[in-house]
Amino acid sequence: MKPAPFAFHRPSSLADALGLLAAGEARPLAGGQSLVPMLNLRLTPVDALVELRAVPELRGAEEMPDGAVYGALVTHAAFEDGLVPDVTRGLMRHVAGRIAYRAVRNRGTIGGALALADPAADWLTTVVALDAEIGIVGVAGERWVKAEDFVLGPYFTILEPTELLTAVKVRRLPDTTRWGTYKVAVKAGEYAESLVIALIDTARNEGRIALGALDGAPLLLPQSAAAACAGTGGAALAEIVRAELAGSGRDLAPAAITLHATAVTRAIAEAVRP
Amino acid sequence: MKLPISLTVNGERVEAFVEPRLHLGDFLREHLRLTATHLGCEHGVCGACTILFDGAPARSCITLAVAADGADIRTLEGLADDPRMRVIKESFHEKHGLQCGFCTPGMLITSLDLLARKPDADAAEIRAGISGNLCRCTGYQGIVRSIQHAAAALKQPEEA
């Protein structure tokens, strides 16, 4: 028994869960694959946990003509195994299968991962690249925010302590959009040293590239995306990526710029490869 | 304050009162005396404590016992009569898939799931599949060979 003592609540409805959060110092528990290790290490003191597993409103996924909505409790393994609809031409399925390890993917959830907002974790950068919307519910009501406005910094989001992340809304990617990813990690399943999700649509001249595993929120690289859409490649593209990283205002040492620029150009290369 | 939980462990109904901070690994080992489940790092890195939670591998050290209320848990003890697990165990014996044996319960349960999901896994897929299970003895060569051996054996038609 490693964590310090805490109280534990098991609400069976969203209203009850929100009521418990509003009542005081409690943290929501989804799959627990990050929170329980932090409790075991006593890095995160909590007075009470509100377990969300039995809250039906947070489960399941729904496909619509223009996209899909995923409940916060959808596990990484459910994405990996294709148990939920995919509107991203396989991108989310691909990303999910490379999160941590299968035993973690079976328990860990997309909502829990996003609410934690670890900069080196996979979903945060992915939903920013996909321009997804995050559903948030509190006692005051529901709101939807763009993923890039949801995350403010490492482990820091706009979620209030009394609010819950309930769902993620992802737009359907056009047939002409190609994606590429690149992750640098010290071993398979480890947190990323650099993480890139690149969406390139040369037919529509639209691109969106998100870089994660930084010291803050995922970074969008519009100049690099525009260059990639215009067909720029090789050394010319690498120079544009490096310049954009150097001018991003993030505190990036030369070695970090080299690392991230390499990851970005490799993700682009995967997206545009014939 | 202790909370009541009711779950199935290795096919048997278990009722207990547990503190919320008790993790499932400690519950299995210390309350039920099921010591095949090994605890290594206790923060979800080493994989020694892997069990089956509703049929899918999970790390018992980062699963709270109270969060297993209503779940169907299976430990290595509960897989003793599983014919596929018997083949995997024999393969680990045959191909030197263990040395000290500490990581082995987690390796076996991870292998059982991996070969069910990917019966044709090649060596690279096997290595990726066991990347969440650390072994500090074997250097993994024997483990990969064991799982390849088991994969081939599991594809043989049952002998009459």
CA distance A107 to chain B (A): 7
Indicate if A141 and A235 belong to the same structural domain: no
Q: Which pLDDT tens digit goes with each residue over B15-64? A: 999 999 999 999 999 999 999 999 999 999 999 999 999 999 999 999 99
Question: Which band of pLDDT confidence, cut at 50, 70 and 90, is reported for residue B160?
Answer: very low
Q: Please count the CA atoms within 13 angstroms of the CA of A224 that sit on its side-chain side.
A: 35
Does one domain contain both A70 and A167?
A: yes
Q: Which two tokens stand for residue A162?
A: 């009394």
Please indicate, yes or no, whether residues A63 and A160 belong to a single structural domain of this protein: yes
Give the domain-ending residue among A171, A186, A210: A171
Q: Answer yes or no: is A207 within a domain.
A: yes
- A104 in the same domain as A126: yes
B73 token code pair: 């848990």
- Residue A247 within any structural domain of the chain: yes
* Helical residues (DSSP H) of B1-139, grouped into ranges: 24-26, 83-94, 104-117, 123-129
User: B43, A6: Cβ pair inside 8 Å?
Assistant: no
Q: What DSSP line would sit under A12-66, residue for residue?
A: SSHHHHHHHHHHSS-EEESS-TTHHHHHHTT-S--SEEEE-TT-GGG--EEEETT
Statement to judge: residues A193 and A248 lie in one domain: yes
Phi, psi of A35 (to 5 degrees): -70, -45
Answer yes or no: are the C-beta atoms of A219 and A250 closer than 8 Å. Answer: yes
Are A65 and A163 part of one and the same domain?
yes
CATH number at residue A99: 3.30.465.10
Chain B positions contacting chain A at CB under 8 Å are: 1, 3, 19-23, 26, 42-44, 47, 50, 53, 56-59, 61-64, 66-67, 69, 110, 113-114, 127-129, 131-133
Is A182 found in the same domain as A167? no
- Looking at the structure of chain A, the number of domains it has is 3
Q: A178-184 and A156-157 as β-strands: parallel, antiparallel, unpaired?
A: unpaired
Residue A63 shares a structural domain with residue A156: yes
Nearest CB partner across the interface for A8, out of B3, B50, B129: B3
* Residue whose tokens read 């969008």: A220
- Residue A152 lies inside a defined structural domain of this protein: yes
The whole-angstrom distance between B90's CA and the closest CA on chain A is: 23
- The residue whose two tokens read 């079976």 is A106
Do A75 and A37 share a structural domain? no
By the 10 Å C-beta count (0-12 exposed, 13-18 middle, 19+ buried), B146 is classed as buried
- Domain membership of residue A204 (yes or no) is yes
Distance CA A226, CA A244 (A): 12
Mean pLDDT score, B95-114: 98
Beta-strand ranges (E) seen in A57-163 are 61-64, 67-71, 133-138, 141-146, 151-153, 156-157
> What does the DSSP 8-state code read for residue B10?
T
Contact A208, A103 (CB under 8 A): no
Longest CA span, chain A: 57
What is d(CA B102, CA B98) in angstroms, rounded to the nearest whole number? 8
- Residue at A18 is within a domain: yes
Same-domain status, A163 and A212: no
Distance CA B134, CA B139 (A): 10
Sign of CA pseudo-dihedral A229, A235, A240, A246: positive
Q: Which of A171, A189, A222 is the last residue of a domain?
A: A171
Please judge whether A36 and B20 are an interchain contact, meaning their C-beta atoms are less than 8 angstroms apart. Answer: no
Residues 6 or more apart from B99 whose CB is under 8 A from it? B135, B137, B138, B142
Q: In whole angstroms, give the CA distance from residue B75 to residue B5.
A: 18
Whether residue A1 is contained in a domain is answered as no
* Residuewise pLDDT in 10s, chain A (274 residues): 689 999 999 999 999 999 999 998 899 999 999 999 999 999 988 999 999 999 999 999 999 999 999 999 999 999 999 999 999 999 999 999 999 999 999 999 999 999 999 999 999 999 999 999 999 999 889 999 999 999 999 999 999 999 999 999 999 999 999 999 999 999 888 999 999 999 999 999 999 999 999 999 999 999 999 999 999 999 999 999 999 999 999 999 999 999 999 999 999 999 999 8
Co-location of A66 and A134 in the same domain: yes
pLDDT value, residue A226: 98
Range of A140's domain?
59-171
Mean pLDDT of B93-122: 98
The DSSP string of A227-250 is HHHTT--HHHHHHHHHHHHHTSSS
Whole-number pLDDT of residue B159? 53
Decide the pairing of beta strands A61-64 and A67-71.
Answer: antiparallel
Which residues 6+ apart lie within 8 Å of B101 measured at CB?
A: none
Whole-number CA gyration radius for chain A: 19
Q: Specify if A2 maps to a domain.
A: no
Q: Quote the radius of gyration of chain B (alpha carbons, Å).
A: 16
Across all residues in chain B, what is the average pLDDT? Answer: 96
CB within 8 Å of B2: residues ≥ 6 apart:
B17, B18, B19
- Interchain pair B132, A100: CB under 8 A: yes
CA-based nearest distance A105→chain B, Å? 9
Taking CB atoms and an 8 Å limit, are A32 and B43 in contact across chains? Answer: no
Tell me the β-bridge partners of A146.
Answer: A133
pLDDT score, position A1: 65
Among A140, A171, A202, identify where a domain stops.
A171
Q: pLDDT at residue B133 above 90?
A: yes
Is A147 found in the same domain as A78? yes
The answer to whether position A215 is within a domain reads: yes
Q: Which two tokens stand for residue A184?
A: 């640098």
Answer whether residue B158 shows pLDDT above 70: no
CB neighbourhood size of A15 (10 A): 13
Closest CA to A164 of A193, A135, A185: A135
The pLDDT assigned to A24 comes to: 85
- Residues of chain A contacting residue B63, judged by C-beta atoms under 8 Å apart: 32, 36, 107
The CATH number for A201's domain is 3.30.390.50
CA distances from A250 to A147, A219, A261 (A): 19, 9, 14
